Structure 1
């Protein structure tokens, strides 16, 4: 049986909130609008850049005009569509992925992040070599928490199912709707207490993940 693990990106493998916060505030500065706080920006992450800018506009009193949203989203992507300056991988991520690769675990990515920044981040942090398949916010019309992108990645990997790893309410709902086991990284962007989120496993450091994966697949193949 193929051992397939699919990961979320922002808040799971990388902490991108500082770059998202900086890009959003550059857009607001150009509009003559006061900046949002880091806590606000962090809380807006999860449903993709279009949703983030919608929430930024509402928080800043800029309304919901679709044309203005399109204009500000385009400006945001100009700032965000470059090499990560403030983003960092979470501790232990690269070692954990290397251990999983050495155990012949097949890996993929399922994120709501747009395709351009996703590809840049994967290359920049050396994550690209681990991910055989990557679905981003532009891959399908549907986005998480719709389970379609997650099912798409597992199908492209040639696996009927496997383990999904993420950090947020969006990821937990995606896994639950997909009927898949979920490993919750507790140090990402979630706002809900861990016991209230759907999950099969929970971990606070990536050092723990390879053992969780090994234990999971021993259980499902027993």
Structure 2
């Protein structure tokens, strides 16, 4: 039996369309140009405050207006799931590794309220034994503390961490854990530029990958 902990946005689900729409609505009262989906994808990964800061920097939003943008974003984002979709075969892969006796957890920089809403909406909560969100601790990934907190909740000293981005790769490195890279997410670096035990673009391949890494 092993322990596998997953990132959420860009790993199990493609939430960028909802993040994009919510961010533009939060910025709307300022009268600034709308950001493209691809540009917003590049802002995702280190939590909502960094996402909003990057957007505000890109649009030269005055410092005194930024807290209100973040507040508007968080208020709308908590239940923003209309445009979000699971990656093909991702949930089936979770069921497959869980059926083999592995303990599963989630470690995401998404705020915990929004995370829990997504998990309930997609019936993911029952598949996970521990969930750590972006505001569960005072620090976020790539600090290793959230991942270690998820491991502790699962009673594990070792885990396979699965994510899609530079942040996830760095988190695994900082925690000294093996990393598997899902290559269809929100990374900006080529897969070969991110240290990993395995890289995959099809979730149907993941159960076999997990067995290989866990058995090492």
TM-score, structure 1 normalization: 0.95
2:195 to 195, 198, 201: 198
Q: What is aligned with 2:81?
A: 84
Query: How far apart are the structure 2 equivalents of 1:148 and 1:160?
Result: 13
CA shift digits 1:36-95 (9 cap, x unpaired): 1111110000001111110111111104x2x42221111111221214000001010111
- Aligned twin of 1:103: 100
The offset of 1:27, in angstroms, is 1.7
**Structure 2 gap ranges (5+):** none
**92, 115, 124: which one aligns with 1:118:** 115
Checking the alignment, whether the CA contact within 8 Å between 1:83 and 1:124 is kept in structure 2 is no
Query: Is it true that 1:211 corresponds to 2:190 in the alignment?
Result: no
Name the SS for the 1:134 alignment partner.
Answer: strand
Task: Give the structure 2 partner of residue 150 of structure 1.
Answer: 147
Paired residue total: 216
Distance 1:151 1:28 in 2: 35
CA distance in 2, matches of 1:165, 1:32: 39
In structure 1, list runs of 5 or more residues that go unmatched.
none
Look up the match of 2:13.
14
Query: What does residue 54 of structure 1 align with?
Result: 53
8 Å Cα contact 2:183-2:200 kept in structure 1 = yes
3-state secondary structure, aligned to 1:40? helix
Matching of residue 173 in structure 1 with residue 170 in structure 2: yes
Match of 2:126 among 107, 124, 129: 129
Summarize deviations over 1:127-172 as a string: whole Å, max 9, x none. Answer: 1111111110111111100111101111110011110000000000
Residue 35 of structure 1: aligned partner: 34
Q: Is the 8 A contact 1:19 1:87 kept in 2?
A: yes
1:135/1:6 CA distance change after superposition, 3 Å: same
Q: Distance in 2 between matches of 1:162 and 1:82?
A: 30
Q: What TM-score comes out, normalization by structure 2 length?
A: 0.97
What is the Cα-based RMSD across aligned positions, in Å?
Answer: 1.0
